[in-house]
Structure 1
Amino acid sequence: MSAPQDGWAGNQDPTRRYPSAAEPQRPSVDAGKLWAGGFGTAVVAALVALVGILLVRGVLGIHILSPSDAGAYGDATTTTYAFGAFAVAILATGVLHLLLLLMPRPMSFFIWIMLLVIAVGVLIPFTILAALESQIATAALNFVIGICIMSLLNSVASIATREPPPPGAGTVRG
Protein backbone atom coordinates (compact mmCIF):
# COMPACT_ATOMS: atom_id res chain seq x y z
CA MET A 1 0.00 0.00 0.00
CA SER A 2 1.46 3.35 -0.97
CA ALA A 3 1.09 6.70 0.79
CA PRO A 4 -1.89 8.82 -0.23
CA GLN A 5 -1.16 11.19 -3.08
CA ASP A 6 -2.92 14.21 -1.59
CA GLY A 7 -0.11 15.03 0.84
CA TRP A 8 -1.55 13.27 3.86
CA ALA A 9 0.55 10.62 5.49
CA GLY A 10 0.16 8.22 8.35
CA ASN A 11 -3.13 8.04 10.17
CA GLN A 12 -4.13 11.70 9.73
CA ASP A 13 -7.69 12.21 8.61
CA PRO A 14 -7.84 14.32 5.42
CA THR A 15 -11.37 15.51 6.31
CA ARG A 16 -10.32 16.93 9.67
CA ARG A 17 -9.05 20.47 9.87
CA TYR A 18 -5.89 20.70 11.94
CA PRO A 19 -5.10 24.16 13.37
CA SER A 20 -1.93 25.71 12.14
CA ALA A 21 0.61 27.17 14.51
CA ALA A 22 -0.44 30.68 13.48
CA GLU A 23 -4.13 30.10 14.33
CA PRO A 24 -4.99 31.17 17.87
CA GLN A 25 -6.87 28.51 19.76
CA ARG A 26 -10.05 29.40 21.62
CA PRO A 27 -10.40 28.87 25.35
CA SER A 28 -12.23 25.68 26.27
CA VAL A 29 -15.48 25.90 28.19
CA ASP A 30 -16.37 23.45 30.94
CA ALA A 31 -20.12 23.35 30.32
CA GLY A 32 -20.81 21.44 33.53
CA LYS A 33 -19.20 24.10 35.69
CA LEU A 34 -20.80 26.89 33.68
CA TRP A 35 -24.34 25.51 33.98
CA ALA A 36 -23.92 24.49 37.63
CA GLY A 37 -22.81 28.05 38.35
CA GLY A 38 -25.68 29.37 36.23
CA PHE A 39 -28.17 27.31 38.23
CA GLY A 40 -26.65 28.59 41.47
CA THR A 41 -26.86 32.13 40.11
CA ALA A 42 -30.53 31.57 39.25
CA VAL A 43 -31.31 30.41 42.80
CA VAL A 44 -29.50 33.44 44.26
CA ALA A 45 -31.35 35.80 41.88
CA ALA A 46 -34.71 34.34 42.89
CA LEU A 47 -33.81 34.72 46.56
CA VAL A 48 -32.63 38.29 46.01
CA ALA A 49 -36.02 39.03 44.44
CA LEU A 50 -37.82 37.46 47.39
CA VAL A 51 -35.72 39.25 50.02
CA GLY A 52 -36.05 42.52 48.13
CA ILE A 53 -39.83 42.25 48.02
CA LEU A 54 -40.01 41.37 51.72
CA LEU A 55 -37.77 44.37 52.50
CA VAL A 56 -39.69 46.81 50.33
CA ARG A 57 -43.18 45.63 51.28
CA GLY A 58 -42.67 44.42 54.84
CA VAL A 59 -40.06 46.82 56.22
CA LEU A 60 -40.37 49.95 54.08
CA GLY A 61 -44.13 49.65 53.59
CA ILE A 62 -43.97 50.32 49.85
CA HIS A 63 -46.53 48.28 47.94
CA ILE A 64 -44.98 46.79 44.81
CA LEU A 65 -46.19 43.98 42.56
CA SER A 66 -49.48 43.43 44.41
CA PRO A 67 -52.21 45.34 46.26
CA SER A 68 -51.54 46.87 49.67
CA ASP A 69 -53.83 44.38 51.45
CA ALA A 70 -51.72 41.40 50.29
CA GLY A 71 -49.36 41.58 53.29
CA ALA A 72 -45.55 41.66 53.46
CA TYR A 73 -45.08 38.79 51.00
CA GLY A 74 -47.60 40.01 48.48
CA ASP A 75 -49.45 37.47 46.38
CA ALA A 76 -48.79 35.10 43.48
CA THR A 77 -47.15 37.99 41.64
CA THR A 78 -44.28 37.87 44.14
CA THR A 79 -43.67 34.21 43.38
CA THR A 80 -43.87 34.91 39.65
CA TYR A 81 -41.34 37.73 40.06
CA ALA A 82 -38.91 35.40 41.87
CA PHE A 83 -39.33 32.73 39.17
CA GLY A 84 -38.80 35.45 36.57
CA ALA A 85 -35.46 36.36 38.16
CA PHE A 86 -34.57 32.65 38.11
CA ALA A 87 -35.48 32.41 34.41
CA VAL A 88 -33.50 35.53 33.49
CA ALA A 89 -30.40 34.05 35.15
CA ILE A 90 -30.82 30.77 33.24
CA LEU A 91 -31.29 32.71 29.99
CA ALA A 92 -28.21 34.80 30.76
CA THR A 93 -26.23 31.58 31.33
CA GLY A 94 -27.29 30.34 27.89
CA VAL A 95 -26.27 33.62 26.27
CA LEU A 96 -22.95 33.51 28.13
CA HIS A 97 -22.32 29.94 26.98
CA LEU A 98 -22.93 30.90 23.34
CA LEU A 99 -20.71 33.95 23.65
CA LEU A 100 -17.89 31.91 25.23
CA LEU A 101 -18.07 29.42 22.38
CA LEU A 102 -18.46 31.81 19.45
CA MET A 103 -17.36 35.37 20.12
CA PRO A 104 -14.05 37.14 20.34
CA ARG A 105 -13.72 38.78 23.79
CA PRO A 106 -16.95 37.15 25.00
CA MET A 107 -16.97 38.78 28.44
CA SER A 108 -16.95 42.27 26.94
CA PHE A 109 -20.06 41.40 24.93
CA PHE A 110 -21.69 39.70 27.92
CA ILE A 111 -21.17 42.68 30.20
CA TRP A 112 -22.54 45.09 27.59
CA ILE A 113 -25.58 42.86 26.99
CA MET A 114 -26.23 42.58 30.73
CA LEU A 115 -25.83 46.32 31.32
CA LEU A 116 -28.37 47.03 28.59
CA VAL A 117 -30.79 44.40 29.97
CA ILE A 118 -30.38 45.95 33.44
CA ALA A 119 -31.12 49.38 31.95
CA VAL A 120 -34.33 48.02 30.42
CA GLY A 121 -35.27 46.44 33.77
CA VAL A 122 -34.69 49.73 35.56
CA LEU A 123 -36.67 51.78 33.02
CA ILE A 124 -39.71 49.51 32.62
CA PRO A 125 -41.28 50.34 36.02
CA PHE A 126 -41.43 53.99 34.99
CA THR A 127 -43.51 53.14 31.92
CA ILE A 128 -46.44 51.76 33.93
CA LEU A 129 -48.98 53.66 35.98
CA ALA A 130 -48.05 53.29 39.65
CA ALA A 131 -47.01 55.40 42.61
CA LEU A 132 -43.56 56.92 42.19
CA GLU A 133 -42.23 55.16 45.29
CA SER A 134 -43.38 51.81 43.87
CA GLN A 135 -41.71 52.59 40.55
CA ILE A 136 -38.45 53.54 42.27
CA ALA A 137 -38.52 50.46 44.51
CA THR A 138 -39.19 48.12 41.58
CA ALA A 139 -36.45 49.76 39.50
CA ALA A 140 -33.98 49.44 42.39
CA LEU A 141 -34.90 45.79 42.90
CA ASN A 142 -34.48 45.09 39.16
CA PHE A 143 -31.08 46.81 39.30
CA VAL A 144 -29.88 44.71 42.25
CA ILE A 145 -31.08 41.46 40.64
CA GLY A 146 -29.38 42.36 37.35
CA ILE A 147 -26.08 43.27 39.00
CA CYS A 148 -26.26 40.04 41.02
CA ILE A 149 -26.72 37.95 37.87
CA MET A 150 -24.03 39.80 35.93
CA SER A 151 -21.39 39.65 38.67
CA LEU A 152 -21.99 36.01 39.59
CA LEU A 153 -21.96 34.82 35.97
CA ASN A 154 -18.82 36.85 35.33
CA SER A 155 -17.14 34.91 38.15
CA VAL A 156 -18.56 31.61 36.95
CA ALA A 157 -17.28 32.24 33.42
CA SER A 158 -13.75 32.83 34.64
CA ILE A 159 -13.81 29.50 36.49
CA ALA A 160 -15.53 27.57 33.67
CA THR A 161 -13.08 28.59 30.94
CA ARG A 162 -9.51 27.46 30.45
CA GLU A 163 -7.10 29.30 28.23
CA PRO A 164 -5.37 27.13 25.62
CA PRO A 165 -1.71 26.40 26.24
CA PRO A 166 0.68 28.81 24.51
CA PRO A 167 2.09 27.63 21.16
CA GLY A 168 4.93 25.18 21.69
CA ALA A 169 3.91 24.37 25.26
CA GLY A 170 4.31 20.74 26.15
CA THR A 171 6.92 20.01 23.52
CA VAL A 172 10.11 18.45 24.72
CA ARG A 173 13.26 20.01 23.41
CA GLY A 174 16.39 17.98 23.39
Structure 2
Amino acid sequence: MKTEVNARRLWAGGAASACVAALVAVVGILIARGIAHVAVLAPRGEGVWVGANTITYALGAAGVALLATAVLHVLLVTAPRPRLFYGWIMVLFTAIAIVLPLSLSYDLGARVATALINLAIGFAIVVTLEGVARAALLESRPGDRSSYENDPFGRR
Protein backbone atom coordinates (compact mmCIF):
# COMPACT_ATOMS: atom_id res chain seq x y z
CA MET A 1 0.00 0.00 0.00
CA LYS A 2 1.12 3.49 -0.84
CA THR A 3 0.13 6.59 1.10
CA GLU A 4 -0.70 9.69 -0.92
CA VAL A 5 -1.38 13.23 0.26
CA ASN A 6 -4.34 15.12 -1.15
CA ALA A 7 -2.62 18.53 -1.22
CA ARG A 8 -5.79 20.41 -2.13
CA ARG A 9 -7.60 19.02 0.89
CA LEU A 10 -4.57 19.61 3.13
CA TRP A 11 -4.23 23.29 2.18
CA ALA A 12 -7.98 23.93 2.28
CA GLY A 13 -7.93 22.53 5.80
CA GLY A 14 -4.85 24.64 6.56
CA ALA A 15 -6.70 27.77 5.44
CA ALA A 16 -9.66 26.83 7.63
CA SER A 17 -7.27 26.22 10.53
CA ALA A 18 -5.78 29.68 9.94
CA CYS A 19 -9.27 31.20 10.25
CA VAL A 20 -9.87 29.29 13.48
CA ALA A 21 -6.51 30.40 14.91
CA ALA A 22 -7.21 34.04 14.03
CA LEU A 23 -10.64 33.88 15.66
CA VAL A 24 -9.20 32.24 18.78
CA ALA A 25 -6.73 35.14 19.02
CA VAL A 26 -9.52 37.71 18.69
CA VAL A 27 -11.69 35.98 21.30
CA GLY A 28 -8.72 35.66 23.67
CA ILE A 29 -7.85 39.34 23.34
CA LEU A 30 -11.48 40.37 23.83
CA ILE A 31 -11.68 38.30 27.00
CA ALA A 32 -8.33 39.56 28.31
CA ARG A 33 -9.06 43.21 27.65
CA GLY A 34 -12.83 43.33 28.07
CA ILE A 35 -13.42 40.96 30.97
CA ALA A 36 -10.09 40.62 32.80
CA HIS A 37 -8.95 44.19 31.98
CA VAL A 38 -5.36 43.15 31.27
CA ALA A 39 -3.07 43.86 28.34
CA VAL A 40 -1.96 41.24 25.84
CA LEU A 41 1.72 41.44 24.98
CA ALA A 42 3.46 41.33 21.60
CA PRO A 43 7.12 41.83 20.69
CA ARG A 44 7.99 45.15 19.10
CA GLY A 45 11.63 44.30 18.40
CA GLU A 46 15.01 44.41 20.10
CA GLY A 47 13.60 42.89 23.28
CA VAL A 48 10.84 45.48 23.66
CA TRP A 49 7.32 44.18 24.35
CA VAL A 50 4.17 46.31 24.07
CA GLY A 51 0.41 45.89 24.04
CA ALA A 52 -0.72 43.73 21.13
CA ASN A 53 -2.80 45.04 18.24
CA THR A 54 -5.79 42.71 17.80
CA ILE A 55 -5.62 42.55 13.99
CA THR A 56 -1.86 41.98 13.99
CA TYR A 57 -2.14 39.24 16.61
CA ALA A 58 -4.95 37.52 14.67
CA LEU A 59 -3.01 37.72 11.40
CA GLY A 60 0.06 36.37 13.18
CA ALA A 61 -1.97 33.42 14.50
CA ALA A 62 -3.27 32.74 10.98
CA GLY A 63 0.28 32.93 9.63
CA VAL A 64 1.47 30.43 12.22
CA ALA A 65 -1.33 28.05 11.18
CA LEU A 66 -0.30 28.32 7.52
CA LEU A 67 3.34 27.76 8.47
CA ALA A 68 2.26 24.71 10.49
CA THR A 69 0.39 23.46 7.41
CA ALA A 70 3.58 23.78 5.35
CA VAL A 71 5.54 21.85 7.99
CA LEU A 72 2.82 19.20 8.07
CA HIS A 73 2.85 18.90 4.27
CA VAL A 74 6.62 18.42 4.19
CA LEU A 75 6.42 15.82 6.96
CA LEU A 76 3.56 13.95 5.28
CA VAL A 77 5.56 13.47 2.09
CA THR A 78 8.98 12.84 3.66
CA ALA A 79 8.93 11.62 7.27
CA PRO A 80 8.47 8.00 8.36
CA ARG A 81 5.90 8.90 11.07
CA PRO A 82 4.78 12.37 10.01
CA ARG A 83 1.94 12.91 12.47
CA LEU A 84 4.14 11.94 15.42
CA PHE A 85 6.83 14.43 14.43
CA TYR A 86 4.24 17.10 13.62
CA GLY A 87 2.73 16.67 17.09
CA TRP A 88 6.09 17.01 18.81
CA ILE A 89 7.13 20.02 16.75
CA MET A 90 3.86 21.84 17.39
CA VAL A 91 3.75 21.03 21.11
CA LEU A 92 7.28 22.37 21.54
CA PHE A 93 6.56 25.56 19.56
CA THR A 94 3.41 26.06 21.62
CA ALA A 95 5.45 25.59 24.80
CA ILE A 96 7.86 28.30 23.61
CA ALA A 97 4.91 30.61 22.88
CA ILE A 98 3.62 30.01 26.41
CA VAL A 99 6.92 30.33 28.29
CA LEU A 100 8.22 33.38 26.43
CA PRO A 101 5.68 35.92 27.77
CA LEU A 102 5.85 34.36 31.23
CA SER A 103 9.59 35.02 31.33
CA LEU A 104 9.21 38.78 30.83
CA SER A 105 9.43 41.36 33.59
CA TYR A 106 6.01 42.86 32.92
CA ASP A 107 2.64 42.89 34.71
CA LEU A 108 1.76 39.34 35.82
CA GLY A 109 -1.80 39.57 34.50
CA ALA A 110 -0.61 40.57 31.05
CA ARG A 111 1.98 37.78 30.99
CA VAL A 112 -0.54 35.13 32.04
CA ALA A 113 -3.21 36.38 29.62
CA THR A 114 -0.74 36.32 26.73
CA ALA A 115 0.46 32.84 27.66
CA LEU A 116 -3.11 31.53 27.87
CA ILE A 117 -4.03 33.03 24.51
CA ASN A 118 -0.93 31.47 22.96
CA LEU A 119 -1.88 28.12 24.51
CA ALA A 120 -5.38 28.34 23.04
CA ILE A 121 -4.05 29.28 19.60
CA GLY A 122 -1.49 26.47 19.66
CA PHE A 123 -4.09 23.95 20.81
CA ALA A 124 -6.51 25.02 18.07
CA ILE A 125 -3.84 24.69 15.38
CA VAL A 126 -2.61 21.30 16.60
CA VAL A 127 -6.07 19.79 16.90
CA THR A 128 -7.48 21.12 13.64
CA LEU A 129 -4.43 20.23 11.56
CA GLU A 130 -4.25 16.76 13.08
CA GLY A 131 -7.76 16.17 11.76
CA VAL A 132 -6.82 17.70 8.42
CA ALA A 133 -3.82 15.35 8.17
CA ARG A 134 -6.07 12.33 8.68
CA ALA A 135 -8.45 13.56 6.00
CA ALA A 136 -5.66 14.41 3.54
CA LEU A 137 -3.98 10.99 3.67
CA LEU A 138 -5.16 8.27 1.35
CA GLU A 139 -3.85 4.75 1.08
CA SER A 140 -3.95 3.15 -2.34
CA ARG A 141 -2.67 -0.03 -3.90
CA PRO A 142 -0.66 0.07 -7.13
CA GLY A 143 -3.07 0.21 -10.06
CA ASP A 144 -6.04 0.95 -7.78
CA ARG A 145 -8.17 3.76 -9.25
CA SER A 146 -10.69 3.68 -6.38
CA SER A 147 -8.98 6.47 -4.48
CA TYR A 148 -10.05 10.11 -4.57
CA GLU A 149 -9.32 10.33 -8.32
CA ASN A 150 -12.84 9.12 -9.10
CA ASP A 151 -14.52 11.38 -6.56
CA PRO A 152 -14.39 15.13 -7.20
CA PHE A 153 -14.71 15.78 -3.46
CA GLY A 154 -11.82 13.50 -2.49
CA ARG A 155 -13.94 11.16 -0.39
CA ARG A 156 -12.83 7.58 0.13
Q: Please, what TM-score do these two structures have when normalized by structure 1?
A: 0.73
Partner of 1:163: 139
1: CA distance, partners of 2:140 / 2:80: 14
Q: What one-letter code is carried by the residue in structure 2 that aligns with 1:35?
A: W
Instruction: Tell me how large the CA RMSD over aligned residues is.
Output: 2.0
- Give aligned-pair identity as a percent: 46
Partner of 1:53: 29
Partner of 2:150: none
Task: State the 1:76 CA deviation.
Answer: 6.8
1: CA distance, partners of 2:58 / 2:143: 49
Partner of 1:15: none
Partner of 2:93: 117
| 1:76/1:115 CA distance change after superposition, 3 Å | closer
Residues 39 and 52 in structure 2, CA contact (< 8 A), matched pair in contact too: no
> How many pairs align?
137
Gaps spanning 5+ residues in structure 2: where? 43-50, 146-156
| 1:38/1:77 CA distance change after superposition, 3 Å | same
Higher Rg of the two aligned structures? 1
Task: State the 1:169 CA deviation.
Answer: 7.7
* Larger strand fraction of residues: 2
| 1:129/1:143 CA distance change after superposition, 3 Å | same
* Larger helix fraction of residues: 2
Residues 65 and 78 in structure 1, CA contact (< 8 A), matched pair in contact too: no
- 1:144 paired with 2:85, answer no
Task: State the 1:147 CA deviation.
Answer: 0.5
- 1:94 paired with 2:70, answer yes
Secondary structure at the aligned position of 1:163 is classed as: strand
Q: Please, what TM-score do these two structures have when normalized by structure 2?
A: 0.81
Which of residues 111, 135, 148 in structure 2 aligns to 1:135? 111
Runs of 4+ in structure 1 over 4 Å off: 167-170
Residues 72 and 86 in structure 2, CA contact (< 8 A), matched pair in contact too: yes
- 1:28 paired with 2:28, answer no
Gaps spanning 5+ residues in structure 1: where? 1-24, 67-74
- Larger RCO of the pair (alpha carbons < 8 Å, separation 6+): 2
2: CA distance, partners of 1:169 / 1:79: 47
| 1:110/1:76 CA distance change after superposition, 3 Å | closer
**Cα shift readout 1:46-80 (whole Å, capped 9, x = no counterpart):** 010001100110011112238xxxxxxxx872211
2: CA distance, partners of 1:58 / 1:169: 56
Query: Mean Cα displacement is larger for which, 140-149 or 156-165?
Result: 156-165
